[in-house]
Amino acid sequence: MSFDVVIPTTGRDSLSSLLHALSDADGLRPGRVLVVDDRRDRSRPLPTGPGASIVRGPGRGPAAARNAGWRQSQAEWVSFLDDDVVPSEGWLRDLVGDLRRAGPRVAGSQGRVRVPLPHNRRATDWERNTAGLGDARWATADMAYRRAALAEVSGFDERFVRAYREDADLGLRLTARGWEVVRGERRVLHPVRPAGRWVSLRMQAGNADDVLMRALHGPAWRAAAGAPRGRLRRHLATTAAGAAGAALLAAGSRRTGRAALAGWLAGSAELAWARIAPGPRDRDEVLTMLVTSLAMPPVATWHWLRGHARARRLVPGRPGARPAVLLDRDGTLIDDVPYNGDPQRVRPLPGAREALDRLRAAGVPLAVVSNQSAVGRGLVSPDQLGAVNARVEELLGPLGPWLICPHAPDDGCDCRKPRPGLVLRAARRLGVRPEDCVLVGDIGADVEAARAAGARAVLVPTSRTREEEVAAAPATAPDLRGAVDLVLEAAA
């Protein structure tokens, strides 16, 4: 049993203490401790500690940072830690015990998180909010996942650019495939981070992610994920009452307008008291709760509306959704080196990383569909193929699931392009319809595979592309950047 530790970080000073604690802890050592530097501003030195390998993160939030980390690992298990947790003295030893007890269908083992609260006073609203991590299901503050399970579902969904819901989304996708996520015995402390007066308003951005969760997993997602319903319905009603009151007064309907504004005031007062009552009730806390409770309903409503607009754009199968993009490997992403089994010979094509980053930033699901008959011919081993593919992702970033046909041309399989098998399997893995997919490749077999599956295709010709293949292609582009332009323009 092997495991690595992945710690995404935005440069908090607590990172150094965490790394020293892992270095000093008793127990089996991780193969690697991978710190994903996800800062956008790297002008200051990164707080670090012994034994850490630094991975450059994409700067697009915790989901993308964790993907960048685990894809660098080759261990059986990947243990994720937040950069501000404090592991217990026996954390490493207990982690190993948790992983060894995990059955073959256990995808993840969740640690026990305790948020220390003050003993000499009641907890503030922000402290109570943070304390919810102790009961959260699938919280990645301390979560170990089997790497094979992560690979099966393509890791964390990078459409979630904030913390919290990306954890629940991954748990739902894994359990839907028959995996289990269990709670282990290891323990960490999660101190309450300092936060400003307006933190509760910033947290309302999560309402947009809740809309995305509903679009992806249906209306029952909260029950399945063990997520509390929250106060969104009350926020919407309070905001509607305030907006109606203002509009009615402006239209001259004073009595009805005043009644609506009374409803808005009552909703705001109820929210403020619900937050003040369990807290310390000191002057600063009461003032903060009063001011933010007036602003919270409209801020939550704004993010909820924004979330609906974003979900229509990002969720496949809905009107206006971004298509999924399926990518050929050799000649499309990297130089075509025949029968290559050496990762050191991988050379990305010019502009490939930039083009792929644009797709990832737009929330476009990706997959690779590639014929690799060198495996079936015995010229390249499956391990060599895996090492080459890992090098491609190391250089170009996460590419989603890899759908490979290892068969020789005469094997009669249904997956070798130009047959549709790889495209159909990729669509199923991404949870989209084949007609919502665009295959980008460099030869006619790529175009024909897309056509056979009912998908669209963009041909990026190279020196080995025949003239008749270019003439028969429904769309062509000079390079991968041009193909991405076509995909995004068509979805706009």
Residues sharing a CB contact under 8 Å with residue 224, sequence separation 6 or more, in sequence order = 172, 175, 217
Classify the C-alpha dihedral 287-288-291-294 as positive or negative.
negative
Strands of 180-189's sheet in order across? 52-56, 33-37, 3-9, 77-81, 142-146, 106-114, 180-189, 86-87
Cβ atoms of 160 and 61 closer than 8 Å: yes
Which of 38, 169, 328, 446 is an active site residue?
Answer: 328
330 is catalytic: yes
Which of 125, 330, 436, 446 is an active site residue?
Answer: 330
- Residues with catalytic annotation? 328, 330
